């Protein structure tokens, strides 16, 4: 009789441990999915966003070249 009770208690404990593992697994899966969606959103934004710095650098280079051309004369 004692052995059967211990077996039932061990089975219940094992089932409870599996529930906790499943919960942790689900939480990690959700966090991973959110991170993946955020990464994809950032990549799409970065791909389609215009590069304003490139235009600024071109304007700056033109002004810089003009300055040195004036000194040479």
pLDDT at 43: 93
pLDDT of residue 57: 62
Q: DSSP secondary-structure letter at 49?
A: S
pLDDT number for residue 55: 64
Task: State the residue range of the domain holding 23.
Answer: 2-72
Q: Tell me which residues of the chain have a pLDDT lower than 50.
A: none
The answer to whether the pTM exceeds 0.75 is no
What is the number of alpha carbons within 13 Å of residue 15 lying toward its C-beta?
Answer: 6
Number of domains the chain is built from: 1
pLDDT value of position 5: 80
């Amino acid at each position: 009789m004692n052995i059967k009770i211990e077996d039932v208690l061990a089975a219940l404990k094992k089932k409870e441990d599996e529930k906790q593992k499943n919960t942790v697994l689900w939480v990690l899966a959700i966090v991973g999915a959110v991170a993946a969606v955020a990464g994809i959103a950032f990549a799409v934004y970065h791909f389609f966003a215009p590069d304003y710095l490139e235009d600024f650098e071109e304007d700056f280079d033109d002004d810089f070249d003009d300055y040195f051309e004036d000194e040479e004369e």
